[in-house]
């Protein structure tokens, strides 16, 4: 049984618990010297409103970690609920053997840096790489958001308990976050 460093907590128990945390499904994209590259991620988080920063955690040694550092930027494409095939493709290792990782997937270059913006994404964040900080087996990558675009009627794709889900639109109650957030 694998344990996380120093805690005695079984890695599989930690993984199982983290699967209970619903997350928006995103595809991170970057334009590399070899062409466009992407990967599915569920660890996108707002960091700051002033300046506008977000973070994403990437496994150390993944090909996107180096590509993002080399290119100086990336795009976070939050997927819509009907884009499960796109999410699965960018999560699979099959894409590495493809002659064109983006074959059959609509995209256009971002105005700032040319990184791929996926067609029909619910929300897009163009980012300049601010830094990558080692944390355990991942790198916390900070992006300074230089542009963003939202499709107001889009419904995001979510991941929960290892499966894709939709938001049904029913509110869970009347309470809203207080002004200023949490």
Question: How many Cβ atoms are within 10 Å of 86's Cβ, its own excluded?
Answer: 24
Contact 100, 35 (CB under 8 A): yes
Residue 154 φ then ψ, to 5°:
-70, 145
Residue from 88, 146, 100, 150 nearest 121 by CA = 150
Residue span of the structural domain in which 124 resides:
25-157
Pairwise CA distance, residues 150 & 8, whole Å: 43
Greater confidence, 165 or 53? 53
Total structural domains within the chain: 1
Does residue 45 lie within any of the structural domains?
yes
Does residue 130 lie within any of the structural domains?
yes
> What CATH number is attached to the domain comprising 136?
2.30.110.10
Does residue 179 lie within any of the structural domains?
no
Does residue 15 lie within any of the structural domains?
no
Does residue 182 lie within any of the structural domains?
no
pLDDT in tens, 122-145: 999 999 999 999 988 889 999 999
pLDDT in tens, 76-97: 999 999 999 999 999 988 776 6
DSSP 167: -
Instruction: Report the pLDDT value the prediction gives residue 62, as an integer from 0 to 100.
Output: 84
pLDDT in tens, 19-57: 888 899 999 999 998 889 999 998 899 999 999 999 999
Question: Above 60 in pLDDT, residue 58?
Answer: yes
pLDDT tier for residue 2 given thresholds of 50, 70 and 90: low
Does residue 9 lie within any of the structural domains?
no
């Amino acid at each position: 049984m694998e344990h996380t460093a120093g805690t005695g907590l079984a890695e599989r128990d930690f993984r199982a618990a983290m699967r209970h945390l619903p997350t928006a499904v995103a595809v991170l994209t970057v334009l590399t010297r070899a062409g466009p590259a992407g990967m599915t991620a569920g660890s996108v988080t707002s960091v700051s409103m002033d300046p506008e920063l977000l973070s994403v955690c990437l496994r150390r040694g993944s090909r996107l970690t180096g590509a993002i550092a080399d290119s100086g930027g990336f795009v976070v494409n939050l997927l819509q609920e009907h884009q499960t095939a796109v999410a699965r493709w960018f999560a699979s290792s099959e894409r590495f053997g493809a002659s064109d990782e983006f074959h059959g997937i609509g995209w256009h270059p971002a105005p700032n840096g040319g990184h791929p913006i996926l067609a029909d994404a619910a929300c897009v964040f163009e980012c300049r790489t601010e830094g990558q900080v080692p944390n355990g087996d991942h790198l916390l990558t900070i992006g300074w958001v230089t542009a963003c675009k939202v499709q107001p009627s889009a419904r995001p794709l979510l991941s929960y308990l290892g499966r894709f889900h939709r938001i049904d639109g029913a509110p869970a109650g009347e309470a809203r976050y207080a002004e200023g957030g949490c």
